[in-house]
Every structure is written in structure tokens, then in C-alpha cells.
Structure 1
């Protein structure tokens, strides 16, 4: 009986809370910028200016020997806590259009996605990405376009899309197509470079140049692409 009573008293009486010990922090050290850069996520100061730019250009030769080049440039920046986006295309004669296209991404993986499909002979197809710290130079013959716009080139073979579904362009070849663009779907940001050729004597080079400034990325610079594409949702993408 005495033992049972003692157990009851022990269970019923709340334990006196003791102050937490801070000795575990005695030998703690501040993480370096390099260590912070290797962690997932971004570390920026409040009001910090930053810059993210992507220039996409496609050079192509049709089977008739005609050589052309098209391009699009997207620049996102924040200066004095005011975000802005500037989008230009390389065709000053492009006109409004109702036609559109969808980027054909490979599943739900984030980051860079490159695809080449060739049937035929005497064809050349190259997808390239150059990424470094710095800022882009202006796109040659660049003409600014607004969000929510779809344009078609004067010759009718290139569609520029700047809307919530697709940010990029598609070139119709004599026997195939070339596509570059940015996509945000299912929580993943993607840069897509795609070439499809079904014919003879085509040459296509997709080049994407990515520049960033004002944000340290350290050893995880490959992750910045998906993160910054995701940030474009704030502008309606």
C-alpha cells in the first residue's frame, strides 16, 4: 500500500522544470560564406540588389542553304527593393500572333533539359549552355516585349512566346524544329533546349548564356537555374 501511494504521488506531482543548459554553444563557430553557399536555398540581405539574365540564341541553316539567327533575352533584377523584368527579342519586325507552342520538357526534373532527335543525313545539331557571374550584353537588334505577348517573325518561321505557359521561342525548319525556353511546372523550374530534324543538310546550334550577379552561389551554382526560374512566378509566369 505504501509503495502504491508513493507511485501515485510521483506520477501526480509535476516535475520541477529546470533552465536549459547553454553549455552546448560554448564552442560553436559562425559558418563561413562558403559553407552557407553549399546549403540548399539562397542567402541574401534585406534590400540586396541582384541580377539574373538569360540570353537564348539559335543559329540555323536550312537545307536550301539559307542561314538565319533568332534570339530572346530575359533579365530579372532588384534595385532598391524594386523588382523588374526586361524581355527582348531579336526580330524588330515580329508581329502579334494568336498561335502558340508548348515546351516539351522531359518529365518533372528541374534545371537544364537538352534534347536532340535526328533522322536523315548530313545534319548538325548542338545544344550549349554557358553560365558565369556577371551581366549580359544587350541582345543585337533587341526589341522589348511585354508579358502576355505572343509574336511571330516576319518570315513566319519563328514564334516568340512571353506568357504564363511558355517563355521562349520555337523555330520551324524545313524538316523539323528548334526550341529554347523556360518553363515552370509542378514546382520545378526548367531551361529546355530541343532540336528535332527529319531531313537532310540541316545545321542547328542552340546557345543559352546565363549570368547572375549580387548573389553568392559557391559550389551549388547548378541549382541557381531552377531557383531563379521559379522566382519568375512573381511576375506572372
Structure 2
């Protein structure tokens, strides 16, 4: 009887595991900021304030002499653990529209995608991107746009979209179009700059200005755009 009890106690008594050894970490070293900067991705501390801004502007002149500038600005920031997004456009006369825009990305690669197609002569088309640390200045004559809004300019030539997967604008030219925007499809984020001209004596310049602050992003690579665009989805955009 005593033997049976001893065996039962031996079987039912849980085995206490020994604590894991931490000796493997004794020779570990903290990576420097320089080393972290060289790695893919971005690093922020918990609760760290940061800023990401993209300003898109298009200047154009058409064969009929019409000269115009269109602009849109997107700013994402986290202040005191509160994420904020601010979207402005440069057209105070824009009105609500049900018609959105299409951002025709080139394949499924992430990052900056630029396209120029010209048929005709005496045309000028330029796509430019400037990326640096800092913050954007407010958009001239900018008005705030709510997330999920689509607007059209009073003359009907420009459509602004603040919808998911089509954050940007498209300008209809007399013979062509110009588009700038951010697209997030199939897990890839793209900044798209596109110019299409089919005529004579058109001049179109797409300019995108990217600014970041409060976070190390490492080497200036186009893939950073895809990673930052994914922040929009994290904010429920």
C-alpha cells in the first residue's frame, strides 16, 4: 500500500522546469543608430513622435495657352501616441464628385513609379521627386479634405481623391492627362507619377516632395515609400 502511494505521488507530482539560461546573451551588443539606419525598414520607439509628409504639385501649359497649377498634400504624424492624418488640396472651388481616379501602377513592385508617354512634337514632360528630412510648409491656399472624399474642380478638369488605394489627383489636358498619387495594392505601395500627351505644344511638370521627421529611415531608397504608404492602412485609411 505504501509502495503504491509512493508511485502515485511520483506520477502526479509535476516536474518543475529549470529556468532558461541567459548565457547566450552575455556577449550580445546593442546596435548603434548607424547600424540600424543601414537595415531595411524604419524604427521608432514606443510612443515616439514622428512625421511623414508628401506634397504633390503639377504645373502645366496647353496648346490653347491655359496655364495652371494643381496641388495636394498628405501629412501623417503621431503626437503623444495619437495618430493624425491631414489632407489638403489647392482648389478652394472644388465640389463633391462621385467619379474617382485610376492610378495605373507599373506591375506590382513597390516604391516610386514614373511614366511618360508622348505622341506629337514641341512637348515638355518632367517627373521629379525630392526626398529629405524635415517638414512640409502648408500648401498654398490649401483646404482640408476628409478621408473618403472625392472632389472635382469647378472647370471639371481635375479630380481629387482621398479614398483608399487612390489617394491623389488626375488632370485632364486638352490632349492628354497628368496624374500623381499613392496606391496600395496587393501588399505593395507605390507613388505614381504619370504624364500622357497626344498633341502639340504641351508642357507638364509633376513634382513630388517627400519629407520625414522623428525617425531614422536609413539609405534613401524608393522602397521607403511603400513602407510609409502602408502606414495609411494602419490608420484605417
- TM-score of the superposed pair, with normalisation by structure 2: 0.88
Give the alignment of 1:171-186 within 5 angstroms. Answer: 171-186=171-186
The DSSP-based 3-state class of the residue aligned with 2:159 is strand
When the two chains are superposed, the root-mean-square deviation of aligned CA atoms in Å is 1.8
Give the alignment of 1:26-175 within 5 angstroms. Answer: 26-175=26-175
2:111, 2:186 → 1: CA distance? 13
What's the counterpart of residue 190 of structure 2? 190
* Cα distance per residue 1:161-209 (max 9 Å; x no partner): 1112310000000000000000001001110000000000000000000
Give yes or no for contact 2:165–2:182 (8 Å, CA) kept in 1: no
Call closer, same or farther: CA 1:176–1:53 in 2, change over 3 Å. same
* Cα distance per residue 1:110-143 (max 9 Å; x no partner): 0000000000000000000000000000000100
What's the counterpart of residue 14 of structure 1? none
What's the counterpart of residue 214 of structure 1? 214
Please state how far the C-alpha of 1:65 moved relative to its aligned partner.
1.4
The DSSP-based 3-state class of the residue aligned with 1:218 is coil
Give yes or no for contact 1:55–1:71 (8 Å, CA) kept in 2: yes
Give yes or no for contact 1:135–1:212 (8 Å, CA) kept in 2: yes
2:76, 2:55 → 1: CA distance? 12
**Which deviates more, 159-168 or 113-122?**
159-168
* Cα distance per residue 1:19-76 (max 9 Å; x no partner): 9876665544321111112222222111000000000000000111111000000000
* Cα distance per residue 1:67-93 (max 9 Å; x no partner): 100000000000000001000000000
Q: Which runs of 5+ in 1 are unaligned?
A: 1-16
2:221, 2:149 → 1: CA distance? 31
What's the counterpart of residue 5 of structure 1? none
Give yes or no for contact 2:42–2:218 (8 Å, CA) kept in 1: no
Give yes or no for contact 2:41–2:224 (8 Å, CA) kept in 1: no
2:216, 2:204 → 1: CA distance? 34
- TM-score of the superposed pair, with normalisation by structure 1: 0.88
Give yes or no for contact 1:164–1:236 (8 Å, CA) kept in 2: no
Please state how far the C-alpha of 1:99 moved relative to its aligned partner.
1.3
Count of paired positions: 221
The DSSP-based 3-state class of the residue aligned with 2:207 is strand
Q: Which runs of 5+ in 2 are unaligned?
A: 1-16
